[in-house]
Chain A
Amino acid sequence: MNIVSAIILTAALLMIIAGMFCLVRTYNLIRIIIAIEIAMKAITLLLVFAGAVNGNMALSQTFVITMIVIEVIVAVVAAGIAISLYHKNGNVDIRELTNLKG
């Protein structure tokens, strides 16, 4: 394993950890969406890394572009739900989301 792949893998790992840490620590709906996006960006990096290692860069690029598109749609839907929740609750705190229990 050469130094470049080591750096990329470390960066990806750090980004995933950052995203998950943010997800666990925050109570804000918008920050949760950002946390998910950070984790997904790490995966994008991993896919590019995979393409570089195995030489099939074309497939990797296709995958990454498709993934970015899908990710944007997920972020839009998430933001839409967050906005509706803001209108219902008056804030974006996930501690307010306690209607469903059991």
Chain B
Amino acid sequence: MITFATISFLGLPLLAILLLNVVSKKTGGAISISVGYVVAIIQMIAAVVCMALLWMHGKDFIEFSLFWDMNATLGAAKLSVDLFSLVVLFCIGMVSLASLLTAKKTIGEKTLNYTNLLMVIMLGMNGIAVVTDLFSLYVFLEITGIASFVLIALLNDKRGLEGAFKYLVMSAIASALILGSFALIFTQTGSLVYGDVAKALADWRNAQYAPLLIVGFVMFIAGFSIKAGIAPFHGWLPDAYQSAPASVSVLLGGIVTKMAGVYALIRVLNSVFVAMPMINNTLLILGLISIVFGAVAACGQKDFKRILAYSSISQIGYIILGVASGSLLGFVGAMLHFFNHATFKTTLFVNSAAVEMQTGTTDIDQLGGLQARMPVTAVSSILAFLSMAGIPPLAGFWSKLLIIIAVWQSVSAVGGGIALAASIFTAAYFLILQRKVFFGPLEDHLTEVTEAKGTISLAAVLLSIVTVAFGVLFPVILNFLHLQGIL
């Protein structure tokens, strides 16, 4: 049972890629979408099963390997899942499912290519979640990156190609920085496994190449900040999100940048750079800049997807802030906000896909009063927006609350205060968005618009249920945290 569940994270996408390359291109479209559903749903089930097993056995993590014997030789590569990676594996399954449901209606004749690339990107993201050494981390980061460049440019239109090229250049610079930092760290440690590197770095101030290590830390932060789209390094992110096909935007905004940037950053930070306050302080400042900048910049945008992209920058700032607070409470808050952000941002991108499909535009100046014509989309987007703005009892409120409490307690009241104040801007730009797209009188040329039928509405409804249910059931988790002595 446990072997099957853990192996499925990497084995299943690989198997699906093999399968999808056997079917013919003409008939492959419909089959490939079904294969994608199966992979995504099995991944969600496997993640839940592993969580249950962790809890039953009282373990912190499960180690496993794929096709090799991890105990054969000393230092053989190992994969490992813990609670955080299982949460993100669940998110990957969920967002991929939403993306597939959207793609079924929107992607057209490129369905087979899309599903193939989706499987590659899932493989890359699952890999990032389970690896335990810097070498494999880099390999899976690049797999994810390359698949996403091709996905953005999938429809071969001018805007998609432009967004993909911008993303590619920034991502290549980020890779160079990340890899440079790994090289400099490797100079000192002689190993790339997380645990060994952490041990070797414990006494880094007395190391032979200590100045090089400082350069390495700077390159590390800069590289992952570019990948995650944290504020001063965010230039590519709105372009990539806006130009991608609708279902790819769902995937990118929901999970890809968060896996390649935020999750990888948090994982390396927590298992390699243990107890290095200077890195935490840097990230704290970056997180605060990101929160404020993303929220303010989103207020001035004219495109539905672009507003969502800037709000992603802002929300990623909250996740980084929670981790940078350095306390366990902050980490738990960041983990929950990661899940929440995956839910509500995916909902909003699904809604933008529905609006784009039905009206043919995402320019908010040309939209208006869609509430009456597209009730499901309007209601689910309002729920997601309320969750993101942190209105109780929806899910986003609780995770933001935990992060702000953690920052307030362990760092400074000023940081917590800024994060709290920026929530108001979140409400501001989403009120602008809602008012221009869904509220108000119906524009004349939109009277023929109907609700996006079928799978897109299904995705929006399912994700809204998750948002509401998670928020309402959150006191259970709070109680659990209280029992553990964290809160």
Contact = CB atoms under 8 A, between A and B. Distances in A.
Interface of A: 1, 9, 16, 19, 23, 29, 32, 36, 39-40, 42-43, 46-47, 49-51, 53-56, 59-60, 62-63, 66-67, 70, 73-74, 77-78, 81-82, 84-85, 88-89, 97, 99-100, 102
Interface in B32-55: none
14 contacts: A16-B176, A36-B176, A47-B182, A51-B186, A54-B188, A54-B189, A56-B191, A59-B186, A67-B179, A74-B145, A99-B158, A99-B159, A102-B242, A102-B303
B470 interface: no
B172 A74 contact: yes
A54 B173 contact: no
Contacts of B158: 85, 88-89, 99
B165 interface: yes
A58 to B, nearest CB: 11
Nearest to A89: B158
Nearest to B167: A81
B480 interface: no
B190 A81 contact: no
B285 to A, nearest CB: 24
Give 9 closest A-B pairs by Cβ, nearest first.
A54-B190, A46-B183, A50-B187, A50-B186, A100-B239, A36-B172, A97-B162, A47-B183, A70-B142
A62 B192 CA distance: 12
Given A56-B186, A100-B239, A102-B303, 13 more contacts: A23-B169, A23-B173, A36-B169, A43-B179, A54-B186, A77-B146, A77-B150, A81-B153, A81-B164, A84-B153, A99-B243, A100-B163, A102-B302
Interface in B139-185: 139, 142, 145-146, 149-150, 153, 156, 158-159, 161-166, 168-169, 172-173, 175-176, 179-180, 182-184
Contacts of B156: 84
Contacts of B145: 74
